[in-house]
């Protein structure tokens, strides 16, 4: 039967209106959108004090072992540093329906599980960076997660930040992104000038100068450095670094809080002799979130517990700090405040037709304005050296709130992303116990998106959501398992708390009392291929 004849027959039967227009009567077949696309969640693990008090569940990741076992790893976080150095493992033998504790590994914080040609690994840090340089560490299991080798250090002298951002195994390489905290990294301690340097008041933030230094290896573009000599101090923004020659811009810098990592400028004019000290300082008031981006990679066939198997990329600074005044004027984003900055980069290789084949590091951009902003770093692993390069800022759903999880799926030839969505970013929460939370920081709704190019995203549906803003599903990690997508999330569930009764000491939109498992069945069928594959010839 021809299509037109078929539509006319449907119209004659009253199924479609005359003319074949495919519209439904009001209320007929209507379903609330977006749909929940995952099975009801399974609570994998509960925090020691449930919703009442820290420590909280953090950094969940998931992997399927060679035997089919599902293995989940997480850490604990809170104010007690003594709990923040241990990875906890939980296993399921029935596809995620039930879970049992399997063991622990110490030291290991911010852990990420992954499998590659040389085995099953977990990579993270030995602790947080707040007390100074920590280390990237890695461990291997040869018995599907029951026991683990001693954690091996892969870095020295760098203060590392990360999260459960996953590990990219692609084209025979294993790649992991991290962030470096400049002011807490001993390897980036500073240098001294080799020539006199003079600046006047009118030069502040209006002129750039060339400054020669003794050693320029730790001077990264877009970082803030303090030049000191005698009683004088002046903050300089590094614009370019070419060996021992730095192009710098004097910054108008008056510290409003007691922040030892960024001294206020002394009175003008400034005249510094050769031999003056130049050291890294913080661009943000209190959080030190002016992170640098770095990546590590190795051949997946190598023994990844051998530090010699890994290579480290160059460090990349955040240009938002160089252009902070413009960004605040245009978007209201305050990159000199206590909160804004990029972090928790997630890697995916660009594999769609016409793509470069290089790796995208997609970072969340913490801020108080929008929930849908991100930063993109290109990672080139094709040469002898691993190279990172800032690409651009972009607008990806949920990346202003938490990090996402990404994968390229060869079967559907699509990128898939799990990320949070915000219902009302302009909501005024004053008068509630969540008054300090901006609407754009809502973490109650975890969604699945798909894209042809990793730039234009379409929502497939909700993985999980909460009607209120206190309960949450966030910091996702997932794996494709045949036709299904297996998602693990850091969550606040099954508590009596509301916007009126939540507090910083209880579970909430950030503090998580559980890791939850979600199965999205036949996830590829959720993509509207006819819609996204349309081309204009």
Higher pLDDT, 448 or 371: 448
| CB-CB contact of 462 with 445 (8 Å) | yes
The residues of the chain that CATH labels 2.120.10.10 are 42-181+288-529
Query: Stretch 342-350: mean pLDDT, rounded?
Result: 97
**Binning pLDDT at 50, 70 and 90, where does residue 328 land?**
confident
Q: CA 231 to CA 248: how far, in whole Å?
A: 21
Residue 385 confidence (pLDDT)? 97
pLDDT digits (tens, 9 = 90+) for 413-428: 999 999 999 988 877 7
* Alpha-carbon 419 to chain mean position: 10
In the chain, % of residues over pLDDT 90 = 72
Give the model's confidence band at 252: pLDDT under 50 very low, under 70 low, under 90 confident, else very high: confident
Say which range, 35-49, 250-264, 356-370, has the weakest mean pLDDT.
250-264
Neighbours of 7 (CB within 10 A): 17
Task: From the options 2.120.10.10, 2.40.400.10, 2.70.150.10, 3.30.420.10, give the CATH code of 42-181+288-529.
Answer: 2.120.10.10
Sign of the alpha-carbon dihedral angle for 478, 479, 480, 481? negative
Residues 70-116: tens digit of each pLDDT: 999 999 999 888 899 999 999 999 999 999 999 999 999 999 999 99
CATH 2.40.33 in the chain, residue ranges: 187-281
Q: What percent of the chain has pLDDT over 70?
A: 89
C-alpha to C-alpha distance for 418 and 424, rounded to whole angstroms: 19
Residue 26 DSSP class: T
* Model confidence band, residue 517 (pLDDT cutoffs 50, 70, 90): very high
Mean pLDDT of the residues in the chain: 89
The pLDDT score that the predictor gives to residue 3 is 40
CATH class of this structure's domain 187-281? mainly beta
Residue 262 has pLDDT above 80, yes or no: no
536 touches 464 (CB < 8 A):
no
What's the pLDDT at 48? 97
pTM over 0.85, yes/no: yes
pLDDT band at 5 (very low <50, low <70, confident <90, very high): very low
pLDDT higher for 367 or 354?
354
pLDDT of residue 116: 98
Sheet of strand 387-394, all strands in order from the earlier edge strand to the far edge = 341-349, 359-366, 374-380, 387-394
User: What does residue 12 show for φ and ψ, rounded to 5 degrees?
Assistant: -65, -30
Is 11 in a helix, a strand, or coil?
Answer: helix
Average pLDDT (507-511) is 93
């Amino acid at each position: 039967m021809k299509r037109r004849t078929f539509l006319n027959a449907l119209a004659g039967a009253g199924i479609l209106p005359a003319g074949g227009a495919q519209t439904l009567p009001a209320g007929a077949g209507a379903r609330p959108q977006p749909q929940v696309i995952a099975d009801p969640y399974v609570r994998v693990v509960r925090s020691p004090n449930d919703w009442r008090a820290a420590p909280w569940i953090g950094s969940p990741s998931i992997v399927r072992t060679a035997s089919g076992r599902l293995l989940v790893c997480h850490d604990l976080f809170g104010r007690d540093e003594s709990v923040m150095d241990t990875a906890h493992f939980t296993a399921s033998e029935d596809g995620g329906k039930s879970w049992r504790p399997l063991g622990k590994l110490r030291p290991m914080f911010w852990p990420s599980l992954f499998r590659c040609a040389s085995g099953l690994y977990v990579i993270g840090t030995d602790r947080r960076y707040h007390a100074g340089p920590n280390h990237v560490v890695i461990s291997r299991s040869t018995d599907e997660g029951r026991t683990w080798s001693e954690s091996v250090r892969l870095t020295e002298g760098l203060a590392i930040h990360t999260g459960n951002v996953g590990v990219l195994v692609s084209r025979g390489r294993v790649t992991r992104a991290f962030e470096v905290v400049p002011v807490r990294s001993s390897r980036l301690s500073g240098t001294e000038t080799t020539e006199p340097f003079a600046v006047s008041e009118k030069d502040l933030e209006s002129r750039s100068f060339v400054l020669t230094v003794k050693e320029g290896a730790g001077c990264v573009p877009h970082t803030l450095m303090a030049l000191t000599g005698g009683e004088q101090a002046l903050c300089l923004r590094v614009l370019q670094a070419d060996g021992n020659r730095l192009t710098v811009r004097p910054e108008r810098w008056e510290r409003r809080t007691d922040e030892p990592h960024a001294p206020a400028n002394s009175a003008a004019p400034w005249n510094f002799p050769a031999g003056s000290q130049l050291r890294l300082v913080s661009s943000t008031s209190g959080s030190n979130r002016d992170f640098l981006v770095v990546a590590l990679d190795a051949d997946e066939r190598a023994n990844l517990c051998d530090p010699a198997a890994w290579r480290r990329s160059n460090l990349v600074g955040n240009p938002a700090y160089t252009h902070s005044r413009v960004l605040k004027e245009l978007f209201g984003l305050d990159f000199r405040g206590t909160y804004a900055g990029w972090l928790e980069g997630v890697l995916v290789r660009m594999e769609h037709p016409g793509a470069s084949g290089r790796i995208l590091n997609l970072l969340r951009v913490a801020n108080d304005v929008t929930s849908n902003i991100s930063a993109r770093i290109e990672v080139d692993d094709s040469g002898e050296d691993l190279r990172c390069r800032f690409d651009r800022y972009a607008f990806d759903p949920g990346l202003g709130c938490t990090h996402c999880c990404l994968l390229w799926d060869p079967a559907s030839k699509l990128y898939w992303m799990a990320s949070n969505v915000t219902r009302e970013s302009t909501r005024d929460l004053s008068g509630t116990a969540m008054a300090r939370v901006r609407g754009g920081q809502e973490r109650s709704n975890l969604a699945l998106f798909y894209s042809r190019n990793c730039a234009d995203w379409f929502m497939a549906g909700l993985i999980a959501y909460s009607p209120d803003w206190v309960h949450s599903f966030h910091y996702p990690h997932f794996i494709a398992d045949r036709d299904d997508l297996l998602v693990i999330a850091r969550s606040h569930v099954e508590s009596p708390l509301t916007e009126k009764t939540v507090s910083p000491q209880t579970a909430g939109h950030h503090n998580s009392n559980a890791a939850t498992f979600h199965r999205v069945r036949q996830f590829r069928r959720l993509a509207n291929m006819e819609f996204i594959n349309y081309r204009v010839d």
